[in-house]
Amino acid sequence: MIEDFIDSIWILEIESGIVIYEEIYNDITKHGISTDMILNFLSALVSFADEVFVDEIKHIKLSNHKIFFNFLKHIMLVISITDKISLKERKISVIIERIGKKFESKYENLYNQELWYADLDVFNSFSKDLREIIKKEPESIKIVHSLNFSEKIKKLNELLDNATNKFSNRKRKLEKIYEEKVERLEFKKSKTRLNEKTIP
């Protein structure tokens, strides 16, 4: 049964980037890593791949897990699956599509309401629907709504600052390499001109 190998299910609302639902059967994340951090990283990775490559990312392969993606009208569905045995991707895709369509149909009208995100606990009712698709019980602790919005914003700002600093450092290194390369080229040119002048 493919369901036996599902570790985690995360659902992110695309426009806001808010993680609105998660179900953890076997936590594969490092201790202290927030759900928002994971999902925003994965979302950024998928967006980058869409910008750069002709093909879209269907899944990411880790050493012992695969992380699958499915985009619907309002949500990005992410499912982590243990990759210890060979599982047919078509069967995995069928389960992912069932989960995504069920979630979208259940909450589609909610996204049209102003301030729909004010009470994210409304999405917890999806657990009952999910058990009809995946016949197994999740871990009892849910962490998706453990932080309030001010904490989420603070953490996202920290991530943004860290990413900005990282790319700024990379930019400075590239600029330095470029400047050194230009200097070497100029030196070679001036040396060549000097040699040409000295040749009788």
Sign of the CA dihedral running 47, 50, 52, 56: positive
Looking at residue 146, its pLDDT comes to: 47
Q: pLDDT tens-digit profile of 138-148?
A: 765 554 444 45
Q: How far apart are CA 57 and CA 45, in angstroms?
A: 9
What's the pTM? 0.64
Q: How far apart are CA 56 and CA 169, in angstroms?
A: 29
pLDDT classification of 164: cutoffs 50, 70, 90 = confident
pLDDT classification of 175: cutoffs 50, 70, 90 = confident
- Give the DSSP letter of residue 10: E
For the residues 25-32, what does the mean pLDDT come to?
A: 72
One-character DSSP codes across 166-197: HHHHHHHHHHHHHHHHHHHHHHHHHHHHHHHH
- Give the DSSP letter of residue 122: G
Radius of gyration over every alpha carbon of the chain, rounded to an integer in angstroms: 24
Looking at residue 85, its pLDDT comes to: 63
